[in-house]
Amino acid sequence: MERKNMNRIDERIKYRIEQRKKVLACFITAGFPTINSTPQLVLELEKAGADIVEIGMPFSDPLADGPVIQRSSQIALDQGINLDTIFEYIKKIRETSNVPIVLMGYLNPIMKYGVDKFLQTAKSVGTDGIILPELPYEECYRFKPRINEAKLANIMLVAPTTPLTRVVEIDKITTGFLYCVSVTGVTGANIGSTSKKYIKNVKKVVTKNPVLVGFGIKTPQDAKEISKYSDGVIIGSAIIREIMQGKTFQEVGNFIKEIRKGLDL
């Protein structure tokens, strides 16, 4: 998994693998809970043990998101969040932090902004990778050269509905890490034995990229269990839920510290 021209994502994952530890990625919604809170929350997550932070770009029709993340996106949109504001957040974060940052979102706002302008601006402010959940494998070839040109990781998703032969092909065009959706459906759903079997099979056929598993991880026990079959976990809905329940960022950080402990046991 050694790569030429390694970026912050590659370096961080390599560091964890060399430690024989698992990778912890945390997802948050840009502009939630308040329009100016994102940089502070990112720094709190990094301090708590997050290796990578995924920043969700709110969109009015988020098909892959469960009700928790949809609600957080709507709150952010109501406060006027937009791509330029998100880029300002990343510039602010980069003043004090080198935590790997991945932008995750839907194509519609990016197309309106201008794909090349979006990618170049994302890179210039300090973004490390892009996840476009609705981008099918067949369409990826339209975007991959442009993502590569911007020197951003092109992080692709696979799900239990993805045949393993297709997983092999997706692995070839992915950089950074392969995002393995552990359940079929929307974010925040539950993990079952079928999902675990699927993750094991994915790990067997993926040779180029580390495999991080997301969707359905709520507790340190979930994280520990899933990390047995993968290189790390992605936690998102559980973080948003903590904030919605009125937890302070420090309390959210403590929650992430517990997840980190679960991974490190």
pLDDT per residue over 160-183, tens digit each?
999 999 999 999 999 999 999 876
Which residue out of 10, 44, 51, 65 is catalytically annotated? 65
Which DSSP symbol is given to 207? -
Total domains in the fold of the chain: 1
Mean pLDDT of 15-19: 95
pLDDT grade for 186, boundaries at 50, 70 and 90: very low
Active site residue 54: yes
Which residue out of 10, 46, 51, 54 is catalytically annotated? 54
Mean pLDDT of 141-161: 93
| Domain membership flag for residue 1 | no
For residue 265, the model assigns a pLDDT of 80
| Domain membership flag for residue 88 | yes
| Domain membership flag for residue 34 | yes
Under a CB-based contact definition with an 8 Å cutoff, are residues 169 and 137 in contact?
Answer: yes
Q: What is the CATH classification number for the domain harbouring 166?
A: 3.20.20.70
Active site residue 231: no
| Domain membership flag for residue 3 | no
Under a CB-based contact definition with an 8 Å cutoff, are residues 49 and 24 in contact?
Answer: yes
| Domain membership flag for residue 124 | yes
- pLDDT tens by residue, 197-255: 899 999 999 999 999 999 788 899 989 999 999 999 999 999 999 999 999 999 999 99
For residue 215, the model assigns a pLDDT of 76
Name the residue among 29, 44, 115 with its Cα closest to residue 79: 29
Domain that holds residue 80: 8-259
Full-model pTM:
0.93
- pLDDT tens by residue, 23-69: 999 999 999 999 999 999 999 999 999 999 999 999 987 666 778 88
d(CA 195, CA 180): 10
Which DSSP symbol is given to 105? -
| Domain membership flag for residue 239 | yes
The pLDDT > 70 percentage for the chain reads 93
| Domain membership flag for residue 2 | no
